[in-house]
Amino acid sequence: MNVLLGRLASAERSSRALRFVDDWSGGGRLPDCLPAFDEAISHFGLASPCAAYSLGFGAQRTCRFLFNTLPEPLRSIFSGAVDIHGDPVVAASMSRHLPFSFLELGADPASGFDLEAVGALALECGVVDGLVVPVHGPFGYLGMVAMTASAPVDLAPGEIAALAAAARCLFDLARHCAHLETRARSARLTRREREAMSLVAMGRTDDQIAVALGLAASTVRHHVDNARDKLGAASRAEAAALLAISGGI
């Protein structure tokens, strides 16, 4: 009987998460969506969601928050740009496709995630564990949704799959609300500018791009600079990232 009741409760929790996907996959306002997501994940013992996305390539890649509802003082620590190479949670999101818990990550010596270092502060906020859902896209584009828990996360695979679907739905809505794609889609790049930026995204130098396109290196720089200006990007890497996010390259 207890096993049956447990399965019914698990199915109901998963159903709540999937209903969130049904309700919000068509879009909406983030301030309206977040309370609904909070309510859905509360039945799993999760709270305080935050979402971040990567911008840039290689050593210049950084991670910025789309929204952050972590409890203070964790929210103040994890704000602004995050070092995508130095943060173990972000690094794990880059290399994993399946959701993972903080305790699971801390148990992996190769992760570099020091539970003792962050544990005391987290406990002050009532955080014992959490769940991270990686979000991957074209050209190495990375996002993630993280949630906190006041007890070790112990969920069935089906529950985690339903949570992951809801988290990715929330991420997509938050991404649209932040207009991450607007600049790239509204920028009217010429064919040559788009071709040059595609090769920038692949790590090619101006000289290599010049050979590939049969142009002078100075002409390549002109096309890349024009594309960057049209996108309102601070660097070539940011311009390539914006185009990758929008599916423009």
Degrees (nearest 5) of the Cα angle 16, 19, 22?
A: 165
CATH number for the domain formed by residue range(s) 2-177: 3.30.450.80
Structure tokens at 193: 């500018």
Contact (CB, 8 A) for 24 and 107: no
* 3-class secondary structure, 103: helix
Q: Domain limits of the chain?
A: 2-177, 182-246
Contact (CB, 8 A) for 247 and 201: no
Tell me, what's the pLDDT at 39?
Answer: 97
Q: Which CATH architecture has domain 182-246?
A: Orthogonal Bundle (1.10)
Bridge partners for 130 per DSSP: 148
Same fold, 2-177 and 182-246: no
Tell me, what's the pLDDT at 60?
Answer: 59
pTM: 0.77
Interacting residues of 52 by C-beta distance below 8 A, sequence separation 6+: 63, 64, 65, 66, 82, 90, 143, 144, 146
User: For each of the chain's 249 residues, which pLDDT tens digit applies?
Assistant: 677 777 889 999 999 999 999 999 999 999 999 999 999 999 999 999 999 887 665 555 667 888 999 888 777 766 666 666 667 887 788 788 999 999 998 888 888 777 776 667 787 788 899 999 999 875 556 789 999 999 999 999 999 999 999 999 999 999 888 876 655 566 788 999 999 998 998 889 999 999 999 999 999 999 999 999 888 887 887 788 777 766 666
